[in-house]
Amino acid sequence: MIGLPEEELRRRHPSSASKTSSNGSSASNGAGVTRKLSFAQMRKEESAKGPCEKIVHRPQDSLFSSSSGWTNYRGFFNLAMLLLIVSNGRVALENLIKYGILISPIQWMSFMLEEASIWNWPNFAMVLLSNTTIIVVFLMEKVLEKGYLSNYFAAVFYSILIPAHLAIPAVFTLVLKGNPLCSVCALSVFVVESLKLVSYIHVNYWCRCARLDKAIETKKKDDAARHEMSPPEMASLYPASLNLCNLYYFMFAPTLCYELRFPRSVRRRKIFLIKRFTELVFLSFLIAALVQQWIVPIVHNSMRPLNEMEFGRSLERLLKLAIPNIVIWLIGFYTLFHAMLNFVAEILKFADREFYRDFWNSETIQYFWRTWNIPVHRWAARHIYFPMMRNKYNKFSAMIVVFFVSAFFHEYLVSIPLHMFRLWAYYGMMAQIPLSLITDYVVKGGRAGNVIVWLSLIVGQPLAILMYFHDWQFSYCIVVVFLKTWGLRARLFTSGKLRFVMISMYKTSFKDQTYFLYWLPDPKVLGVCNGINEVYELAVSEKQRAEFVNVSETILSSVWSESMSKKLFTISSVLCNSHCTISFTTKRTFVLNVNHDLSRLAFIMEEMLKCIESFIVEKNQQKLLKAKKTVPEVPVKRRKVPKKAIEWDED
């Protein structure tokens, strides 16, 4: 290598040995001789030589040059992992310092016992009633197997039944307004059942066609069905497979594609079941803890930049939300597709455990959607994509229909539990079509394609979360006044539109003089008036309010409302026609300046009268409702008045 001319060395390419070497130090010279010594061994040999024999300079490339053949960058990988751990550790420490410990297992248990209990109406009742559709489909297939009804009638009947199976629980969810999380779980059951029933209906139709020796050639072209079994085999198994045991096994099995004969494992592995169950429980609680501690504060703090349309701060909040979102998404993926589905498959002895493939190496959007959710991909290919291809549709049209169906179900599982239709999930799924064209034909896969796939997950999901939470908070934040012993406190009601924002006020005193301390949420003004001729006000920001009550901005609204309702703000000094000082239990103070505008006092008193009037109207409406619901009194025959007076005991 020492005698090689420089021009030949510059043209040298790394050998296969240099690429596969564990230490990355071997290289090939011009004569084809492979150097096997590491740099440490070479330095040891050089140190053994005399001063005159040591060679200082030789023709060689820098290690970062592609022609050097150097492939060992493990140190940089370790550095990247260390930086990732340190940066996330800093974020976690900052979160704990800023917000404290927000994780509350007591709230989890309360939610599980109250909202997520099996007695929670209407979600649990709807899941139980979903068996009605399953029984109806089974009875219909029995009738069709006997030949009493035609396939055309079955197609019309199922075209009404399956959409009704999805529409009825949606209507109940919208009307009864249960907990959104429980509603998502209940509606997910209906979506899975609908997909399974479609597969069950299709396969039984193919079996009837095989038994009647019809449409066999068409079915053979279906790539999703040809690997299952031959038509004679299908026809021989079909009547016997039509039973409730087989149907309910399929309804509980971790697959969406029905088969007459599923692959079964020999036994149940107890250690495997314990591992998967432990992972399922632990990771579920971990996700809940991360959401409560990490996601909720970021989302709450992102609402103000979104409301004020501050692009820079909104982008910063979006990127801040991206990291915990992708972490929770990966944990959720492992929990669902590995722990939960393997646990169910092991109980049912279901042998096909390919629930996902290497989606993390996806270089195109299409490959990602084909590999990250294998049960859904198999169902879409078997019952949508290949049937459309058989009917002379092109691949692009079939792909659009598949994405449209997926977008519909995404929006179905988000908009209905939240009781609002913003279509962000639908738009996000349909945006995958142009993105897939970019990764397929513009970028053409490779490392850049993999980066685009990960960027779509890192940025797209947090953006949808912020949009839905912003719209949900705006749609359901209605402020109504509650009057109690001269205290007016804000209370949230769920309604369609923002009607009015009333004042929050309570009565206090200073040096035997009556004052009214009030809070105007829009604009954010804290004030004091005596109801006659004095008004003191101060515009305060969220940061100033948080410092005043000594809490984080995340829980500021609840603490501030509670402080107003409990009358924790007190007047410590009043200098007539100059300023007023308000103090809190934290020894912090606000100095309110006098407002000489007399119309301001009239406005404050008018707002207070509106509060009282609204409260009276609300109370009267409640009394009317109670009067309508009361049971009419049954007339009781009174006893005759005794002639002698009754002596009453004063006690």
Q: Which two tokens stand for residue 536?
A: 């003191």
* Torsion, CA 97, CA 103, CA 107, CA 113, rounded to 10: 180
The distance from CA 225 to its chain's CA centroid, rounded to whole angstroms, is: 34
Q: Is 596 a catalytic residue?
A: no
Q: Which two tokens stand for residue 172?
A: 């109940």
Question: What's the rounded Cα separation, in Å, for the pair 342 and 254?
Answer: 8
Tokens 């929770």 correspond to 328
With 0-12 / 13-18 / 19 or more C-beta atoms within 10 angstroms meaning exposed / middle / buried, residue 67 is: middle
Characterise 512 by phi-psi region: left (phi > 0), alpha (psi -120 to 50), beta (else).
Answer: left
CA nearest 322: which of 468, 467, 457, 435? Answer: 457
Contact between residue 594 and residue 577 where contact means Cβ atoms under 8 Å apart: yes
Question: What's the rounded Cα separation, in Å, for the pair 204 and 251?
Answer: 15
Question: What's the rounded Cα separation, in Å, for the pair 452 and 103?
Answer: 34
Cα torsion angle, 147, 148, 152, 155, sign: negative
> 354: how many CB neighbours lie within 10 A of its CB?
8
Tokens 């021009």 correspond to 7
Question: What's the rounded Cα separation, in Å, for the pair 190 and 169?
Answer: 8
CA distances from 382 to 258, 351, 429 (A): 10, 20, 20
Residues 6+ apart with CB under 8 A from 577: 534, 594
CA distances from 391 to 302, 386, 398 (A): 49, 9, 10
Q: At residue 361, what is the residue type?
A: N
Helix locations, 67-179, DSSP H = 74-99, 105-114, 123-129, 131-146, 151-176
Characterise 232 by phi-psi region: left (phi > 0), alpha (psi -120 to 50), beta (else).
Answer: alpha
Contact between residue 34 and residue 15 where contact means Cβ atoms under 8 Å apart: yes
With 0-12 / 13-18 / 19 or more C-beta atoms within 10 angstroms meaning exposed / middle / buried, residue 128 is: exposed
Catalytic residue among 338, 410, 419, 470: 410
CA distances from 508 to 524, 575, 591 (A): 21, 17, 17
Identify the DSSP state of 640: P
Residues 6+ apart with CB under 8 A from 69: 12, 13, 14, 15, 18, 19, 26, 27, 28
If you write DSSP's letter for every residue of 286-302 in order, what string do you get? HHHHHIIIIIHHHHHHT
CA nearest 296: which of 422, 435, 136, 473? Answer: 473
Residues acting as catalytic residues? 410
